[in-house]
Structure 1
């Protein structure tokens, strides 16, 4: 589905690096922005999510979930089993897995019920079990793998309501933001603006046959 001047779009996490860049790049007929910093939307609090959803009216052609974090409350990714902290791991699941699940619960009903409609959620390649060859990052990896399963399962349900609905997990690549900068290492990174352009090109090529999938910034499918 191509996002153009006749589409209604909702970006959740619009104040973050990628979310802000997406909003700047979108040419939608109507663009609704929601974020924690501006609107108080906390994806780890269901009451907050429900209030935010009640405050906007559907039907949207595209809902883009740009929430998530690698480091939470100063706790970075684990390098070894000995680094696992139960509270830190629970926080990863609350934000990166349960958060998207709550967004689906309360915002998916605001998608267009007939015709093409997309719910896209930022995931990460490190959430792929099949692609995991270097280990580490237990909490973030596991939370992102859970997020992918939630999105895949939601795709099955939403397809029953609208055969043209698409639910996808998207990996934006390594994006240079304040939250990721110290973890970039030797990885090639792109600016949020470039990442946003890449993601919009992927969205333009999505159809019902892609629903439930996990795709990278170039539109290539990623192993679960």
Structure 2
């Protein structure tokens, strides 16, 4: 990302890792234009504070990632401002929400809750890939990254449990691995990757941090810095791969 006047989109920028990436993009001179999405206006105060501080650089867009019509509308708004994007990171994910909690055993499996996991963690990301394709129609190196999770690795599953979250992240990886192949044919400069951030101190992980060693519980700033470095070092042949926060490739 060493050219001037680059455009970025951060999906899920109102909190957590997404908000951390927004701060990173705001302090990166090469990125001249940033679009940042939020789901609920009532939980996006910090995002809108930043938009008032950087009115020429930051545009806020409402988007529910499980609603394709909202994805289409947000991307249409982006296209009114710029024909191209150079950096997109999807930080939206769900692990727990109300009575939606990770399953510890088969008896806790519920079809509606499974569907919710897949809607947010899997389907939303591939719908983004579908509708973002025209914005990568340029000759500059670009990145479309999605936050995945090591727990979605089938080969690394030795503990079991967390059926819906595991399966939805595995599906995310397969969907974007497949999209990367099509992108390679149609948008050869776009690198599509899945990223494992490690356990980060956010609302998503907070109920499950008790047994995490302090040195393995990352601050948002550290997570963003580590993932940014991974993305900076990506090459075109890395498209479709699944990387951990330290740059190592994770098994499918």
Q: Establish whether TM, by shorter chain, passes 0.5.
A: yes
Q: CA deviation at 1:4?
A: 6.4
Deviations 1:68-127 (A, max 9, x none): 111133311001111111111110001100110111111232124323111100000000
Q: Structure 1 regions of 5+ residues with no counterpart?
A: none
Q: CA deviation at 1:36?
A: 1.2
Contact 1:170 1:215 in 2 (8 A): yes
Contact 1:173 1:216 in 2 (8 A): yes
Q: Which residue of 1 aligns with 2:192?
A: 167
Contact 1:8 1:30 in 2 (8 A): yes
Q: Which residue of 2 aligns with 1:63?
A: 88
CA distance in 2, matches of 1:129, 1:7: 36
Structure showing greater radius of gyration is 2
Q: Structure 2 regions of 5+ residues with no counterpart?
A: 42-60
Q: Which residue of 1 aligns with 2:223?
A: 195
CA distance in 2, matches of 1:82, 1:193: 38
Q: Which residue of 2 aligns with 1:115?
A: 140
Q: CA deviation at 1:5?
A: 4.7
The 1:124–1:106 alpha-carbon spacing in structure 2 relative to 1, beyond 3 Å, is: same
Contact 2:94 2:204 in 1 (8 A): yes
Local SS of the residue matching 2:181? helix
Q: Residues 28-39 of structure 1 correspond to what in structure 2 (within 5 A)?
A: 28-38=31-41, 39=61
Contact 1:61 1:117 in 2 (8 A): yes
Contact 2:136 2:187 in 1 (8 A): no
Higher mean Cα deviation, 38-47 or 108-117?
Answer: 108-117
1:207 matches 2:203 = no
Q: Which residue of 1 aligns with 2:100?
A: 75
The 1:85–1:169 alpha-carbon spacing in structure 2 relative to 1, beyond 3 Å, is: same
Local SS of the residue matching 2:166? helix
The 1:62–1:112 alpha-carbon spacing in structure 2 relative to 1, beyond 3 Å, is: farther
Paired residues in the alignment total 223
The normalised TM-score by structure 1 is 0.95
Q: CA deviation at 1:168?
A: 0.4
Local SS of the residue matching 1:88? helix
Contact 1:53 1:107 in 2 (8 A): yes
Higher mean Cα deviation, 157-166 or 139-148?
Answer: 157-166
Local SS of the residue matching 2:97? coil
Q: Which residue of 2 aligns with 1:85?
A: 110
Contact 1:3 1:204 in 2 (8 A): no
Q: Which residue of 2 aligns with 1:42?
A: 64
CA distance in 1, matches of 2:196, 2:168: 14
Q: Which residue of 2 aligns with 1:102?
A: 127
The normalised TM-score by structure 2 is 0.85
1:51 matches 2:73 = yes
* Greater RCO (CA < 8 Å, at least 6 residues apart): 1
